Structure 1
Amino acid sequence: MNGGRQAVWKALMRTTTMILLAVALASCAVEPKSEPVDIEQMNKDALGPPVPITLEPITFARIEGDGLFGAGCNFSETQGGDLLLIAQGEYAAFLLDGEVVKASPDMGSDELSYAARAKYDGMANSIRLELDETSGAQSGMETVSYPGALTITDDRDRPVYSAKGYFDCGA
């Protein structure tokens, strides 16, 4: 029986050696290097690109009908062009898809001429006004025209409208 035990023992040792060798080889296998995950880019990709908006001209009838009168700064892309934004001390407003969209002034932002603010925040948009107040020119009895830029962002702070133009500020 000694010979039988030795044969079993040798077979057991060979099997054990083979198992240990297989485990050792598996632990030495080279795993592919994974690149770090860019969570910010994943979120941007999931949101899709920002959807640009087209501002509609605000007519005098619309100003009158919606009570948008008051002192402040009004934006148009060209001097004397269509009025696209009204910015006053209490709100800023633009017309989108036939509806007036309003935003509240950011009281921590710079105060511009006639109580307008440099930034307004709304439910779905934020509005930024950049006026070159050193380059203003008298454009009417009570108005001054300033070159500048208007930027409107979506609720993720991505620009959806951006234009250079003129702000007519007055009463």
Structure 2
Amino acid sequence: MKRLFPCVLLGACLSLSACGEQISPEEQERRDAEAVAAVKRANAAIPPLEEVVPEPILYPDLEQHDLYGLACSYAPGTSLATRVVTRETDAFVKVNGELLRFAADPGSRELPGNTRSLYNGRAYSLRLEIEGEGAPVAEGSGTTRYSGTVHLRDRWNRTVYTGTGTADCGA
């Protein structure tokens, strides 16, 4: 124990003397460059892919956000539960109980109902495809049913959801 104490004391003294050590401007520049490179590597790291499953947009959501009028409603597979509502200037998708709003990309291709093929949001982008000529849902309803596909992408442009089903467009 008596031998251990002087060694610890000597180590502490050497550590303290190193604190006051002056480094050259070149060495400081090298250390700063290493620190900047480490921060850039950390910021460039892409997190793991998290898949998203849009939830049905229900009547209370439609009423609360006034989602009536000319629009297209996308439902996956054979489901009639709307997962995406697109309009001329915006689109909506419900994720984790929150209705997310997307802005239309005015330079993207125009789809039926004055909607667009691309919408951008804070955390995701939404790409839409409509195939075929469509068929009236019901005589005199003013709504046309198409085959449609929805692609939801994260901010790194990775697809986190794809759904193919129907797109009902009209008032």
Shift of 1:49: 2.9
Structure 1 residues not aligned, in runs of 5+: 1-41
Which structure: larger Rg? 1
Q: Provide, for residues 80-134 of structure 1, a one-character-per-residue CA deviation record: whole Å limited to 9, x for no partner.
A: 6111000000101011111110110010111111111000011111001100143
Between the aligned partners of 2:77 and 2:135, the Cα distance in structure 1 is: 14
Given the alignment of the two structures, is residue 137 of structure 1 paired with residue 135 of structure 2, yes or no? yes
Match of 1:155 in 2: 155
Counterpart code for 1:131: I
TM-score (norm 1): 0.70
Equivalent residue for 1:166?
166
**Superposition deviation, residue 79 in structure 1:** 4.6
Q: TM-score, normalised by structure 2?
A: 0.70
Alignment of 1:7-156 (within 5 A): 46-79=45-78, 81-134=80-133, 136-140=134-138, 141-156=141-156
Name segments (4+ residues, structure 1) moved above 3 Å. Answer: none
| Distance (whole Å) between structure 1 residues aligned to residue 96 and residue 167 of structure 2 | 23
Count of residues in correspondence between the two structures:
128
Q: Is the 8 A contact 2:77 2:163 kept in 1?
A: no
SS at 2:168 equivalent:
strand
Percent identical among aligned pairs is: 30
- Normalized per residue, the structure richer in strand is 2
The alignment partner of 1:47 has SS state of: coil
CA distance in 2, matches of 1:49, 1:137: 41
Give the whole-Å Cα distance in 2 for the aligned partners of 1:79 and 1:64: 25
Residue 80 and residue 47 in structure 1: after superposition, are their counterparts in 2 closer, same or farther (change >3 A)? closer
RMSD over aligned Cα atoms = 1.8
Secondary structure, counterpart of 1:137 in structure 2 = strand
